[in-house]
Amino acid sequence: MLDVRRQAKGKAASVAAEAGCYVGEVIRRQLGGRWRDTPAAPAKRGFLGLFGSGRPAFAPVLDLGVITVSPVEKVRARLRDPGEDTIEIYYEAVERTIIPRVEDRA
C-alpha cells in the first residue's frame, strides 16, 4: 500500500499519519505499550521558507517499556525512500527487541 501511495502527490502527510498510527496500534495490541505525544517537529517548508504549510509534523511515539518506537516516522521514511526497510521488517525488529528469540541469545 505504501509503495502505491508514494506516487500520490500531496497526500504523503496524511498517509504517513494514518498508516503510522495503524502500524503502531497493531504493535500496541500485540506487544503492549502506550501512545505518547511528542513535541511536533516543524514541517519543512518550500523554497526559502515561502511555500508549504509550515504546520508541525504529527509525531506520536509508542512506549513499549524497554524501547520507544515511532511508527509514524517509520512510515514517513518508507514513503520518502523505497529502499527503507519494509514495515514487516520494522515490526519484526520491534518484536525481537521486546521478546528475544532463543536463537538471538546464542
pLDDT 10s digits, 27-47 = 999 999 999 988 755 555 544
The pLDDT of residue 81 is: 87
Q: Which residue has the higher pLDDT, 4 or 105?
A: 4
The CA distances from residue 6 to 66, 79, 87, in Å, are 32, 5, 14
Say how far apart CA 38 and CA 45 lie, in whole Å. Answer: 20
**In the predicted structure, residue 82 carries a pLDDT above the cut 60:** yes
